[in-house]
């Protein structure tokens, strides 16, 4: 029996559950975003519990195909109605302000203000979560019911925020084991006032680190990464590229506090030891587990599992993102998550670590060529020419500008083509695996080819 398994047996679920709820409640009001003081304060509080190394990377630093963005720090933001009453105020809820809103102070009629207001007609009592990281704008989010009740007249909007050169911040906690081989647990820290996505992931990761730190004679080294989603993982990969040969297993922690069943999204290859370890761990705990194949969007698996890196990273959640009505709204609050669910999630992660400690580990054979998907006999095959992380499609005019009902499907088709174009999978294979029409996959490949992101197999780069 590994010492990690002993720690699992000894886990006091009630105390751990309460402690995770306390941490979630402590972090809940902090206005986090991709960058800025909210992330720093969050990391400061995590550092009171586990050893944390904080990294700052300056604005403008190139990372893979991307650049570290400007730093955003909101201070005050509100809308006054024609009678002078503050009808929307960032001080009441962080979600009221669109993330990365530029500063503004204006008076304007309702019809001009309207395009800057976001609501959810289907869920009229809730505030949506919106950001605009890569396109400069400003905006507010509010319950649809409130939006509908706004009288005509002149409004005053005020956003005091800085959007300027600074840095992007992330934190890492490394627990060295007897081997330098690493297990990565990654949680995104860019979401403001939202509990399940992703204070639950942060709380479970912090408590897993605490539990593992207390275990003597661990075989693996464990690295906990608390970084903004997308660009944070891209930056981490860019900075750690030369030491990825010690990377053995990875899990992305999110949506771990709701009462739903566990879901595991397999790594890109789908047959890594981590994929087996999660299934064995959950079975050992007697927990139901829904297992799903990899798809190239979601959380930071889209970066870790880009074809150039193709790291063994899976996503272990309870109800996945987008599949609960509270997702990305003000209803994802502290009442939506619970101590018992969090404690069960912590046990699932600890059991997975125990399974890895007891598994074959280093003796795992390297991937056979063209594993992880069937090879077709025919059909065009391409190579992703920017295979490390996701290429920035927006900068190349490939994201958002197309409009129409097919746009979302087209964007997803591009992600599939980029992820699977390693010279082995044909467009037929990609259409089959993605479940998208061949025509859409073919269109996406053509657009990516025109943008210089895709080459025919065998062509010079």
Residues that bind Zn ion (CB under 5 A): 197
CB of 332 to Zn ion, least distance (A): 9
The smaller minimum CB distance to Zn ion, of residues 320 and 372, is found at: 320
CB of 301 to Zn ion, least distance (A): 14
Packed helices 339-358 and 13-27: angle between N→C axes, nearest 10 degrees: 110
Secondary-structure percent of the chain, ordered helix, strand, coil, rounded to 5: 35, 25, 40
Q: What is the Cα–Cα distance from 137 to 100, expressed in whole angstroms?
A: 8
CB of 99 to Zn ion, least distance (A): 11
CB of 297 to Zn ion, least distance (A): 12
Both tokens assigned to 217:
């004679």
The smaller minimum CB distance to Zn ion, of residues 8 and 337, is found at: 337
The smaller minimum CB distance to Zn ion, of residues 128 and 284, is found at: 128
The smaller minimum CB distance to Zn ion, of residues 128 and 406, is found at: 128
Residue 373: closest CA among 298, 296, 268, 272: 268
The smaller minimum CB distance to Zn ion, of residues 32 and 70, is found at: 32
The smaller minimum CB distance to Zn ion, of residues 315 and 350, is found at: 315
CB of 194 to Zn ion, least distance (A): 7
CB of 129 to Zn ion, least distance (A): 7
In contact, 166 and 57? CB cutoff 8 Å = no
**Is 362 exposed, middle or buried, given 0-12, 13-18 or 19+ CB atoms closer than 10 A?**
exposed
The smaller minimum CB distance to Zn ion, of residues 197 and 301, is found at: 197
CB contact set of 283 (below 8 Å; sequence gap of 6+): 289
Q: Is the dihedral of CA 424, 429, 433, 439 positive or negative?
A: positive
CB of 200 to Zn ion, least distance (A): 12
Q: What is the Cα–Cα distance from 391 to 146, expressed in whole angstroms?
A: 39
Cα–Cα–Cα angle for 277, 283, 289, rounded to 5 degrees: 90
Q: What are phi and psi of 213, to 5 degrees?
A: -60, -30
Closest residue to Zn ion using C-beta atoms: 197
């Amino acid at each position: 029996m590994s010492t990690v398994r002993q720690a699992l047996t000894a886990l006091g679920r009630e105390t751990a559950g309460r402690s995770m709820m306390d941490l979630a409640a402590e972090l809940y009001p902090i206005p986090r975003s991709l960058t800025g003081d909210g992330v720093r304060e969050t990391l400061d509080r995590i550092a009171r519990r586990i050893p944390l190394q904080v990294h700052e990377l300056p604005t403008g630093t190139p990372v893979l195909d991307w650049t570290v963005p400007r730093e955003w720090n909101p201070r005050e933001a509100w809308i006054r109605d024609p009678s002078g009453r503050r009808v929307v105020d960032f001080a009441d809820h962080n979600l009221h302000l669109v993330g990365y809103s530029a500063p503004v102070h204006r008076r304007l009629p309702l019809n001009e203000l309207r395009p800057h207001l976001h609501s959810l007609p289907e869920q009229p009592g809730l505030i949506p979560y919106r950001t605009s990281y890569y396109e400069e704008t400003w905006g507010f989010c509010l319950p649809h019911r409130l939006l509908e009740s706004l009288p005509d007249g002149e409004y005053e909007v005020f956003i005091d925020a800085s959007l300027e050169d600074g840095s992007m911040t992330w934190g890492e906690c490394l627990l060295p084991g007897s081997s330098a081989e690493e297990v990565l647990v990654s949680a995104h820290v860019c979401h403001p006032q939202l509990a399940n996505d992703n204070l639950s992931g942060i709380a479970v990761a912090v408590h897993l680190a605490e539990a593992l730190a207390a275990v003597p004679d661990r075989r693996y080294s464990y690295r906990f990464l608390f970084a903004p989603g997308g660009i944070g993982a891209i930056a981490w990969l860019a900075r750690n590229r030369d030491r990825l040969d010690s990377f053995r297993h990875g899990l992305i922690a999110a949506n771990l506090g709701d009462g739903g069943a566990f879901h595991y999204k397999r790594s890109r290859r789908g047959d890594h030891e981590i994929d087996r370890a999660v299934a064995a761990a959950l079975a050992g705990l007697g927990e139901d587990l829904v297992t799903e194949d990899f798809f190239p969007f979601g959380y930071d698996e889209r970066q870790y599992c880009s074809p150039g890196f193709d790291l063994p990273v899976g996503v272990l959640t309870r109800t996945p993102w987008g599949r609960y009505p509270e997702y990305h709204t003000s209803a994802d609050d502290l009442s939506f998550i619970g101590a018992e669910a969090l404690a069960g999630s912590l046990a699932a992660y600890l059991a997975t670590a125990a399974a890895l400690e007891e598994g074959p580990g280093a003796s795992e054979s390297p991937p056979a060529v063209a594993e992880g998907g069937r090879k077709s006999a025919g059909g065009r095959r391409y190579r992703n020419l920017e295979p490390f992380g996701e290429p920035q499609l927006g900068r190349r005019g490939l994201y958002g500008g197309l409009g129409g009902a097919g746009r979302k499907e087209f964007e997803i088709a591009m992600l599939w083509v980029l992820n699977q174009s390693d010279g082995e999978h044909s467009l037929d294979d990609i259409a089959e695996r993605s479940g998208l029409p061949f025509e859409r996959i073919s269109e996406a490949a053509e657009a990516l080819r025109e943008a210089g992101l895709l080459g025919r197999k065998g062509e010079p780069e």
